[in-house]
Amino acid sequence: MAENISEVDIAYQILSEAGKDNPIYFKKLIREILERQNKNVQNEASAISEIYTMINMDSRFQHAGDGCWGLTDWYPPATKKSSSKSATKSAKTVSQ
């Protein structure tokens, strides 16, 4: 694996390989990232915290619950569903 690939890009590759129905527990995901980078980490807790923050801030990733992460593409956008329901409700109210 090329050394210049970012941790979040590696996380994206790992989750893509795992497939849609397989979100991964964050520590397992981060350890796999570090392994693929062949990185010697002196402080694992610090490395986990740093990479977790990067994943959390990247819109390609979605927290799947219970400490697991998946890709945003796997999950339907909740905001669009709720806004379309509101629009439908408003239309029904107006038409009555």
How is residue 13 written in tokens?
């590759």
Res. 40: pLDDT tops 70: yes
What residues make up the domain containing 12?
A: 7-95
Report percent pLDDT > 70 for the chain: 77
Q: What is the pLDDT of residues 50-95, one digit of tens each?
A: 999 999 999 999 999 999 999 999 988 765 444 445 555 555 555 5
Res. 14: pLDDT tops 90: yes
Whole-number pLDDT of residue 76: 84
How is residue 59 written in tokens?
């819109």
- In a domain? residue 52: yes
Can you tell me whether residue 61 is helix, strand or coil? strand
- In a domain? residue 63: yes
**Alpha-helical runs (H) found in the chain:** 7-18, 26-36, 44-57, 78-95
CA separation, residue 32 to residues 9, 24, 28, 71, 77 (Å): 12, 10, 6, 16, 28
Whole-number pLDDT of residue 26: 97
- In a domain? residue 2: no
Domain count, the chain: 1
Residues 75, 47: Cα–Cα separation, whole Å: 27
- In a domain? residue 85: yes
Mean pLDDT in the chain?
84
Query: Which CATH number fits the domain that encloses residue 82?
Result: 1.10.10
- In a domain? residue 18: yes
Whole-number pLDDT of residue 9: 98
Res. 1: pLDDT tops 50: no
Res. 33: pLDDT tops 90: yes
- In a domain? residue 74: yes
